[in-house]
Chains A and B, each alone.
Chain A
Amino acid sequence: MPPAPLAVRGLRKRYDDVVAVDGLDLEIAPGECFGLLGPNGAGKTTTIEICEGLNEPDEGEVTVLGLNWKDHERELRQRLGVQLQETQLSDKLTVLETVRLFRSFYRTGNDIGDVIARVQLDEKANARVGKLSGGQKQRLALAIAIVSNPDLLFLDEPTTGLDPQSRRHLWDLINDIKATGRTTVLTTHYMDEAEVLCDRVAIVDHGKVIALGTPRQLIMSLGAEHVVEFACPDGAPALPVDALRALTGVTDARTVNGGYELKVAELHRAVPALLAMLAERGLEMAHLTTHSATLEDVFVALTGRHLRDE
């Protein structure tokens, strides 16, 4: 069996007065896209930079592709692809020159033209980096991360600061790269990004992993995939919460601000059952909303805080 692409045990790192990483364990399987999801300051970047050999842990063990940084730095650098947060590539070089420069550091790698095409910058190949939009710069950063055809790819906050359209474009590209079976580790504080891209997610808070699993498993752990909120017109008789909870497909129910909130496992059964119950009692609905439970709901359920406190 090949070694795990990345295994981290008991990782700790403290800066002057802050503990950034506080006993963190991870094990990543070949070919998966693994996400570290957490709010800013959770220790994601410190963790990923220790894994990339750019930062030293105070304690703990990191094994990358079965090797360690102390003895095999040269080989590891050849085999990893890295995208860092906030790197500003030289504005005066063109896209092509930038990719060629990074390609020159590796013994083997992909064809430069192919890589540029892969991130859909072919039309911008001879444009200066300084003239690119934020999304195009991020795509270039992705291009230089994959130019060596790496065995393991690290992406640190790949879409932070981009507009929604550019983010979606980048997700498509990362999904394409994933489809080639490359093991990828990414950090993000966007729950939708983790849901779209990651096979497995570790939710990180205060330097620790507080939940681990596929996005679906994590959401399922809430005991419901959907949340239904509704209310009846003012003056209508109250509905018994026990009766709501007994409806088909509903796992939990409670009253909220004069309305009702249902946690629902099977939306397609719960909604007809709810409508039937209201019809039976001759009641109408004043409003009805449903949303799928998200990793955000998981984070809130675990910490009582939102991922992005703004």
Chain B
Amino acid sequence: MSEARQFSSLRELSAVRVREFLREPEAVFWTFMFPVLLSVGLGIAFRNKPADVTPVGVVRDAGTDAVVAALTASKELKVTVVPTLDSALAAMRNGALALVVVRRADGGVEYRFDDTRPDARLAHLIVDDAVQRGAGRADPVATHDSLVRAAGSRYIDFVIPGLLGMNIMGGSIWGVGFAIVDMRRKRLLKRLVATPMSRGEFLASFVASRLTVLLIEVLFVLGFAYIALGVPQRGSLVQLGAVTLLSAFAFGALGILIASRARTIEGAQGLMNAAMVPMWVLSGVFFSSERFPALFQPFIRMLPLTATNDALRATMLRGDGWGMVAPQMAVLAVWTVVCGWTALKLFRWR
């Protein structure tokens, strides 16, 4: 009987799952390299650039020299002298120019621009300021600009937590789902239930083994983001770990639920996509979920990926404490319990 302690079936089941994963070189490569490649791509696309200059055009005319000189003095503008008004307007339509300056017969200037284009409105402010100053306007109040470029508010900072959340979801649902369906197809599940194995431990082993893989995966992605891209980590690491862990539980349970009845890989794949695609769109991976109408917001906030992404962003970018991420943690906990319990009830063991 003393032998019994030597063999913990939860430990054995989990170890077996990790070994099976690590012995599949392609799976290992894609699990760890995919998020890194994606981050590198985004890092290149959203690298720190000097502040944009705004392209504006001036229609050539006898008296435009003073205007051109005034505009060229501004560092924020790129001035092009255009021979005719028609060609200037054509260049504005295709986006090459944000605004066109035309000299009027009365000695004033006219600005042609589209007020629904943010760059055009910006150009309007800068051009008008330059023109007025060039003509000798003095500012009544002395001002001074101090530039603050903070890490944490760039697009790359927004998208890294989203990618991490998406990766936790994809890894858990694919990793767990395919493995279970494969075991069912090979009749290995049936062989296992012919033993005294605890069914709860069997399902728990999938989640436990995912955690091991996840730990490496998260360290990989966050380490890269922190070192190479300068994405900040402002909150506590313990809290970040807790959010990640709970998220892995929720998606692991969801993966088991999705695989609880399917007999074929194809059938499971359809269900996985049905679960994941809406979350890729709605849950704020690449753009904020706030863009969806207010009517949908309560529903969107209940999605596990939204909860994960919001909690990750709060922890990493804003440094919010436990109290601020508690609602998201609660959502993830509910998903874990409800999916886990339902999966155990529905699960097809044969």
Residue A126 interfacial (CB < 8 Å): no
Q: Is the CB of B188 within 8 A of A97?
A: no
Q: Is the CB of A104 within 8 A of B9?
A: yes
How far does the Cβ of A209 sit from chain B's closest Cβ, in whole Å? 24
Residue B12 interfacial (CB < 8 Å): yes
Residue B3 interfacial (CB < 8 Å): yes
Q: Which of A77, A87, A93 contacts B196 (CB 8 A)?
A: A77
Alpha-carbon distance between A77 and B194 when the two chains are bound, in angstroms: 7
- The residue in chain B whose Cβ has the minimal distance to the Cβ of A77 is B196
Contact A93-B16, Cβ < 8 Å, known A86-B187, A87-B188, A105-B9: yes
Alpha-carbon distance between A102 and B9 when the two chains are bound, in angstroms: 8
Q: Is the CB of B191 within 8 A of A84?
A: yes
Question: A82-99: which residues lie under 8 A (CB-CB) from chain B?
Answer: 82, 84, 86-90, 92-93, 97
Residue B346 interfacial (CB < 8 Å): no
Q: Is the CB of A108 within 8 A of B193?
A: no
Q: Is the CB of A105 within 8 A of B16?
A: no
Alpha-carbon distance between A306 and B193 when the two chains are bound, in angstroms: 35
Q: Is the CB of B7 within 8 A of A103?
A: yes
Interface 9-mer from B17-25, B209-217, B261-269 = B17-25
Q: Is the CB of B1 within 8 A of A87?
A: no
Q: Is the CB of B19 within 8 A of A54?
A: no
| Residues in B neighbouring A89, C-beta threshold 8 A | 188, 191
Contact A102-B1, Cβ < 8 Å, known A54-B350, A87-B190: no
Contact A78-B196, Cβ < 8 Å, known A88-B186, A107-B4, A108-B4: yes
| Residues in A neighbouring B19, C-beta threshold 8 A | 92-93, 97
Contact A54-B9, Cβ < 8 Å, known A74-B196, A77-B196, A97-B16: no
Alpha-carbon distance between A100 and B3 when the two chains are bound, in angstroms: 12
Residue among B1, B20, B191, B197 with the most chain A CB within 10 A? Answer: B191
Alpha-carbon distance between A92 and B191 when the two chains are bound, in angstroms: 17
Q: Is the CB of A90 within 8 A of B188?
A: yes
Residue A52 interfacial (CB < 8 Å): yes
| Residues in A neighbouring B7, C-beta threshold 8 A | 100, 103-104
Residue A101 interfacial (CB < 8 Å): yes
Question: B188-204: which residues lie under 8 A (CB-CB) from chain A?
Answer: 188, 190-191, 193-197
| Residues in B neighbouring A88, C-beta threshold 8 A | 186-188
| Chain A: interface residue total (CB-CB under 8 A) | 28
Alpha-carbon distance between A104 and B186 when the two chains are bound, in angstroms: 21
| Residues in A neighbouring B4, C-beta threshold 8 A | 107-108
Residue among B187, B195, B197 with the most chain A CB within 10 A? Answer: B195
Question: A101-134: which residues lie under 8 A (CB-CB) from chain B?
Answer: 101-109
| Residues in B neighbouring A53, C-beta threshold 8 A | 194
Q: Is the CB of B196 within 8 A of A90?
A: no
How far does the Cβ of A115 sit from chain B's closest Cβ, in whole Å? 13
Q: Is the CB of A108 within 8 A of B3?
A: yes
| Residues in B neighbouring A106, C-beta threshold 8 A | 195-196
Q: Is the CB of A90 within 8 A of B20?
A: yes
Contact code string A46-90 (vs B, CB < 8 Å = 1, else 0): 000000111000000000000000000010011010101011111
How far does the Cβ of B3 sit from chain A's closest Cβ, in whole Å? 7
Q: Is the CB of A104 within 8 A of B196?
A: no
Alpha-carbon distance between A283 and B200 when the two chains are bound, in angstroms: 79
How far does the Cβ of B24 sit from chain A's closest Cβ, in whole Å? 7
| Residues in B neighbouring A90, C-beta threshold 8 A | 16, 20, 183, 188
Alpha-carbon distance between A104 and B4 when the two chains are bound, in angstroms: 8
Q: Is the CB of A82 within 8 A of B187?
A: no
Contact A54-B194, Cβ < 8 Å, known A101-B13, A104-B7, A108-B4: yes
Q: Is the CB of B9 within 8 A of A87?
A: no
| Residues in A neighbouring B195, C-beta threshold 8 A | 77, 82, 102, 105-106, 148
Residue B143 interfacial (CB < 8 Å): no
Alpha-carbon distance between A108 and B1 when the two chains are bound, in angstroms: 6
Residue B48 interfacial (CB < 8 Å): no
Q: Is the CB of B12 within 8 A of A104?
A: yes
| Residues in A neighbouring B183, C-beta threshold 8 A | 90
Alpha-carbon distance between A54 and B190 when the two chains are bound, in angstroms: 8
Chain B residues with a Cβ under 8 A of chain A: 1, 3-4, 7-9, 11-13, 16, 19-20, 23-24, 183, 186-188, 190-191, 193-197, 350
Given contacts A93-B19, A100-B7, 7 further A-B contacts (CB under 8 A): A54-B193, A80-B194, A82-B195, A84-B190, A88-B187, A97-B19, A104-B12
Chain A residues with a Cβ under 8 A of chain B: 52-54, 74, 77-78, 80, 82, 84, 86-90, 92-93, 97, 100-109, 148
Q: List 10 A-B residue pairs with CB atoms under 8 Å apart, sorted by A's residue number.
A: A54-B193, A84-B190, A87-B188, A92-B23, A92-B24, A100-B7, A101-B12, A104-B13, A108-B3, A109-B3
Closest 6 interchain pairs by CB? A88-B186, A104-B7, A77-B196, A104-B12, A104-B9, A105-B195
